[in-house]
Structure 1
Amino acid sequence: MIVREVLRLGDPRLRQRSEDLPEALFRGAELQALIADLRDTMAARDGAGLAAPQIGVPWRVVIYGITSNPRYPEAPPIPETVLINPVLTPLGDATQLGWEGCLSVPGLRGQVRRHQRLHVAWRDPAGGHHQQEVEGFHARVVQHECDHLDGLLFVDRLHDIRAFGFTDALQDAGLL
């Protein structure tokens, strides 16, 4: 098990747009090692997802999934999924407001408006092509993680700066 350092807000690497995973790396040991590191790091920090740029790897690779998670106790289960070179397309105009946190912004939460439904197209580690429609919390997690691939963090999308703060203070105030 290898748990990697998670870059934190302020590290300029988090603000760079990631590159598509090169074709030569599909099905390879380097990609499998990256996915294992992402999985182990996400699990060790109770994350719902993690993007390669968060551990300093500038490729368009994301992993997400939860069964139960103390950071998101009311979230429904989401199957573990690895997205490589994902493309997101909103389905309709409906949005939802929800609280988000991030392993790269530890201890803080904020309200972010996200698309309610998405079409997601991606490749898997073997190079296969997939697509799926997701909604609700699942759509929120996908959008949050894929934002990292474009150098964006949830703080860039805050709905209202007054709905942003330390998790424990927000819980004490009854907001979370």
Structure 2
Amino acid sequence: MAILPILEIPDPILRDISAPVAPDDASLPQLIADMFETMYDAPGIGLAAIQIGVAKRVMVIDLQEEQDEDEKPIRQPRVFINPVISEPSEEVSAYNEGCLSIPEYYAEVIRPASVRAQWTDETGATHDERIDGMLATCVQHEMDHLNGVLFTDHLSKLKRDMALKKVLKGQRLRR
């Protein structure tokens, strides 16, 4: 396993549309392991392969159920290969989203409160579920990445510009 660099805006690779993954893709186990290690190190709750420069339709999510302050969160890793979302609910939810590719910037995004999701996991099992709550928000956020969309694209131009300025300033300070 390896902790890989996470691409940050304005890297143009983040706008690439990810390609479907073949069922016999031998690189998947290593990619998935590296994605989880990278996500946990960041720390984050979701990561799309494109965020580490791999244009494959793979995303990992772990909402990490909270525990008491003295205990580590309970990990619940989930892998989504070639995910498809459909049937968005009319009901919406607002969540103050952040992104590992847009560090230290958060903004309220309104998304459908639930969606139908279909995907294959790392074992090859297929899933077809109606999901809601935080998982639905996270799946939609990561799915956007697979389609070259960032959460800031759901914001006004002014807020998008503010996010870019903040990230660029942070990048200059880290150099």
Q: TM-score, normalised by structure 1?
A: 0.81
- Within the alignment, does 1:148 sit opposite 2:145 as a pair? yes
Q: How many residues align?
A: 157
- Flag structure 1 segments of 5+ consecutive residues without an equivalent: 70-76, 167-176
* Conservation of the 8 A alpha-carbon contact between 1:113 and 1:159: no
CA shift at 1:162, angstroms? 5.6
Secondary structure of 1:41's match?
Answer: helix
Secondary structure of 2:139's match?
Answer: helix
* Conservation of the 8 A alpha-carbon contact between 2:63 and 2:135: no
- Within the alignment, does 1:12 sit opposite 2:9 as a pair? no
In 2, the alpha carbon distance for the partners of 1:122 and 1:5 equals 26
* Conservation of the 8 A alpha-carbon contact between 1:111 and 1:160: no
CA shift at 1:125, angstroms? 2.1
Q: TM-score, normalised by structure 2?
A: 0.81
- Residue of structure 2 in register with 1:107 after alignment: 104
In 2, the alpha carbon distance for the partners of 1:160 and 1:78 equals 36
What are the Cα deviations for residues 31-69 of structure 1, in whole angstroms up to 9, with x where unaligned? 100000000000001101000000000000000012257
In 2, the alpha carbon distance for the partners of 1:92 and 1:162 equals 26
- Within the alignment, does 1:137 sit opposite 2:134 as a pair? yes
- Within the alignment, does 1:52 sit opposite 2:49 as a pair? yes
Higher relative strand content: 1
Q: Map of 1:158-173 to 2, 5 A cutoff?
A: 158=155, 161=158
Moved over 4 A (4+): 159-166
- Residue of structure 2 in register with 1:2 after alignment: 2
- Residue of structure 2 in register with 1:37 after alignment: 34
Query: CA distance change for structure 1 residues 96 and 64 in 2, over 3 Å: closer, same or farther?
Result: same
Identical-pair percentage:
36
